[in-house]
Structure formats: C-alpha cells, structure tokens
C-alpha cells in the first residue's frame, strides 16, 4: 500500500477551490492509503481549537471520517497552524507529531519536518518562531477572546506578507548548512519537508553517505503529494 505525504494547503474560506480538492482527495485516494502525513500549514491560520469557522469544521469532519474509515492520519504543526492542540486531535482522531520526527519507510530512515526551522538565514522570523512556540506565549494568546485572536492573526499575516516582499528571497529558503547538520545528527537518509513551496528532490553528498532532501509543494494552484510504496518515493502533482 501507499503512504501519502502532503503539506502547505493553507485552507481558508477565501480559497474554496483548495478546500474542495482536499475534501475530494480525502474521500478518494487517501482512503486507500496506508497512512496520511500532513506536514504543516494545513490551515492558513489557526487561532485556537475553539474556532467555530464552518470551513474548518468541514475539514475536521473529513479528517475524522478518514480515521474512522481506517487510514491513520498524522499531523505536524506548520508556521500557520502551530496552535492546533489536543481538542483538535480529539475531534479529528489525528496524531500530532513533534517537529522533526523520524520515520522508517521500507528500510529507509526519513526525517519529517515542516521546514521553517531550517530557514535560519531569516533571523527575524526565527526570533518570532521561538517566542510563539513557547507554552507561556500560547497560553496568554488562548486566554484572549476569539475575536481578538482572529484580529491578531490577520495582522500577523499582513506583517508576514510584507516581510516576505521586503526580504531577500534567498533567506526564505532553507539554509544548506542547517540541512547538512540535521541530516548528519539524525542519521536520516532522507529529509522530507514543506514550507518553502519549492517542490523538488535534492541529492546531497554527506561525505560518508548520500542523502536526499525532498520538498513538498503547496496547493495554491494545484495539489502536491509524495506517494511512497515498496518502489520508493514519488513526488507528484495533483491537477485541479
């Protein structure tokens, strides 16, 4: 059977085409999979598990139905939905993974990550990331009224977009030294991540061994999926 890996769907009400493709994917190919791994940024924003947004509710129902059907679903936080919590996991049945997480696929050790922690050249972003991932910061944020959290997320998104427009595009990608260090320390043969929206397969010479870095694509214009069976991984496009 095939194991599926996806990331960076950025589901939101203003892009119903992405949501429709995701729901179709969940109701068809995902049902025949060994497992589904979602490596972050499933949602464009997530301000807390108590958000009653009906668009997100449909996605949660689809996840629960897939798990009930018998396909395990694993979720890793992204930079947009890092506040997904235990209530979401209970409602959907997904298993939340730490970033990074090691996985063995047919004898190959694969390190899963969202990928944003590897963009170390973007110093400003890394400072914000460290702050917002702390339990203390999240506890303070979740104590605020939902309306205030939504407004904060909107403002943070606008600031992030402005930062991306002003910054040198090279710092928005992963740092090669950070990748090498992670692969060497972990012993993984393949690093699989999303975040950068630059789908590709990179071959890496570690000196004592060869490795790969596989990057998942986003779902803005079309879907992106890595299918992995006994023949190995295959990074493919899902036409919309």
Question: pLDDT 10s digit of each residue in the chain, 240 long?
Answer: 999 999 999 999 999 999 999 999 999 999 999 999 999 999 999 999 998 888 899 999 999 999 999 999 999 999 999 999 999 999 999 999 999 999 999 999 999 999 999 999 999 999 999 999 999 999 999 999 999 999 998 898 888 777 665 556 667 899 999 999 999 999 999 999 999 999 999 999 999 999 999 999 999 999 999 999 999 999 999 999
Pairing of strands 35-38, 200-205: unpaired
DSSP character string of 130-168: HHHTSHHHHHHHHTS-HHHHHHHHHHHHHHHHHHHHHS-
**Contact criterion met (CB below 8 Å) for 197 and 204:** no
The structural domains of the chain, ordered by start, are: 3-238 (3.60.21.10)
Q: State residue 163's pLDDT score.
A: 67
Distance from C-alpha of 109 to C-alpha of 95, rounded to nearest angstrom: 20
Q: State residue 53's pLDDT score.
A: 86
Enumerate residues 6+ apart whose C-beta is below 8 A from 172.
119, 122, 164, 196
- Sheet containing strand 35-38, edge to edge, reads 95-97, 73-76, 35-38, 3-6, 223-229, 232-238
Q: State residue 17's pLDDT score.
A: 96
**With b meaning 16 or more CB within 10 Å and e meaning fewer, what string describes 30-65?**
beebebbbbbbbbbbbbbbbebebeebeebbebbbb
Q: State residue 201's pLDDT score.
A: 98
Backbone angles phi, psi at 56, to 5 degrees: -70, -30
Is the pTM here over 0.85, yes or no? yes
Token duo for residue 209 = 């061994």
Q: State residue 54's pLDDT score.
A: 86
Q: What is the SS3 assignment for 89? A: helix
């Amino acid at each position: 059977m095939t194991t599926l890996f996806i990331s960076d769907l950025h589901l939101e009400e203003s892009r119903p085409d992405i949501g429709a493709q995701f729901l179709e994917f969940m109701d068809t190919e995902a049902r025949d999979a060994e497992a589904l791994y979602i490596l972050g940024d499933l949602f464009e924003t997530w301000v807390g598990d108590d958000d009653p947004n009906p668009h997100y509710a449909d996605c949660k129902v689809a996840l629960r139905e897939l798990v009930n059907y018998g396909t395990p679903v694993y979720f890793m936080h992204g930079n947009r939905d890092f506040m997904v919590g235990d209530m979401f996991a209970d409602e959907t049945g997904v298993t939340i993974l730490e970033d990074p997480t090691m996985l063995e696929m047919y004898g190959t050790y694969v390190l899963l990550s969202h990928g944003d922690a590897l963009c170390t050249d973007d110093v400003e972003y890394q400072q914000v990331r460290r702050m917002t991932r702390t339990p203390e910061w999240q506890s303070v944020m979740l104590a605020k009224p939902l309306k205030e959290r939504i407004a904060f997320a909107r403002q943070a998104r606008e600031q992030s977009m402005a930062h991306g427009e002003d910054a040198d595009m090279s710092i928005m990608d992963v740092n090669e030294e950070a990748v090498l260090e992670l692969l060497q320390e972990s012993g993984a043969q393949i690093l699989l991540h999303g975040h950068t929206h630059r789908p590709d397969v990179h071959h890496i010479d570690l000196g004592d061994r060869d490795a790969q870095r596989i990057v998942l694509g986003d779902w803005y214009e079309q879907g992106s999926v890595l299918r992995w069976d006994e023949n190995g991984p295959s990074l493919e496009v899902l036409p919309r």
